[in-house]
Amino acid sequence: METIQIESIMDEIRREIREDPSYREALAFEKIPELSGQESSAVLGEKYDEELLHRSVAEMGAHFQVPYYRQIGGGRLKVFFKRVLRKLVCFLVRPALEEITAFHALTAASVNTVANHIREQEAENQRKDRKIAELEKRLHALEEARKEQVQEK
């Protein structure tokens, strides 16, 4: 196989391409606005997505707890002051976080139940679809047999 110098081919392409700055500038992704909060909630969950549902449920199950104690980063002095601050507001914040966690646990359990119900229903629907197809086939065969009997008579 002949030796190909990829770099020289790249240089050749660079020389050959037509300069078209308008094309380069007109197509920036940044010109497409990010979605606002309201639009965001419309996109998320606007239609049934099994993968999204089960992933969200799994994540809810793993992350429903809102821990009060978190790793504190920074230098020694910063860490010290942050710890003091955490201790000071503990009486106020901790019960609130515990209530939030309890509420999250209920929500996660409810959604998980609904997701499992959907899964069971889907399996049941598939089973019924198969049964209907089988019965239709039998019905069709019986109708054909009946037609033949009538014709014979």
Query: How many angstroms separate the CA atoms of 41 and 48, rounded?
Result: 14
Number of residues that bind other proteins (CB under 8 A): 35
Please identify which residue in the block is written with the tokens 């010109």: 31
Assess contact for 61 and 116: CB atoms under 8 A: no
Assess contact for 107 and 60: CB atoms under 8 A: yes
Q: Report if residue 4 touches other proteins, rule: CB under 8 A.
A: yes
* Six-digit token string for 3: 């030796």
User: What is the x/- site pattern for other proteins, positions 71-100, by CB under 8 A?
Assistant: x-x---------------------------
User: What is the x/- site pattern for other proteins, positions 7-46, by CB under 8 A?
Assistant: --xx--xx-xxx-x--xx--x-x-xx-xx----x--xx--
Please tell me what DSSP assigns to residue 32.
S
Q: Supply the minimum distance, in Å, between the C-beta of residue 143 and other proteins.
A: 33
Query: How many angstroms separate the CA atoms of 36 and 42, rounded?
Result: 10
Residues between 41 and 70 that touch other proteins (CB under 8 A): 43-44, 51-52, 54-55, 58-59, 61-62, 67
Where do the H-state alpha helices sit in the chain? 6-16, 21-26, 37-43, 50-63, 76-152
Q: Which is nearer to other proteins, 13 or 150 (CB)?
A: 13
Query: What are the residues binding other proteins (CB under 8 A)?
Result: 1-4, 6, 9-10, 13-14, 16-18, 20, 23-24, 27, 29, 31-32, 34-35, 40, 43-44, 51-52, 54-55, 58-59, 61-62, 67, 71, 73
